[in-house]
Structure 1
């Protein structure tokens, strides 16, 4: 039962991390096509390390779910941490560049 919980949490963490990476990629693409987008592109470059690290940690947590119960618990801890980091970073980036409707 704990393995199923660990797998679900790890997958959710990977999805959150990939969402952050995808948002940065879209933002970087838009900044490259727009005149005056250099500050945005510079900001995105500064965030790649965080996004990549959180994604790597999420994938590592998913990999750990193939072990025993101790590794499942460790996977849950890593996945929750990396997922929360990704969500917070994504929200921060979205708040910084959200355009009012």
Structure 2
């Protein structure tokens, strides 16, 4: 990612190529952060629990269930956000629009 910023400054690659590699790098980081790291953490936690049988397929199954549970819990925690969802009503949206307009005109 740092190289892409340097390439932007010295204009080495075509801008569409830089943009493609920038998005590819961001999606790769996102995949590692959401999928790979939590699964590895769950797998090593399951591996160190003496109650779980030490067969590899059982550990992978339990780690997968733990990973899906973690994803579900993070999804439930993030469900009320953003605040501008329709279930909070029009008042919150109007209030945020008023604050944005006040900030735009320097009243805040």
For the aligned pair, the TM-score class normalised by the smaller chain equals 0.3 to 0.5
Higher helix share: 1
> What's the TM-score, normalizing by structure 2?
0.37
> What's the TM-score, normalizing by structure 1?
0.39
Greater Rg over alpha carbons, structure: 2
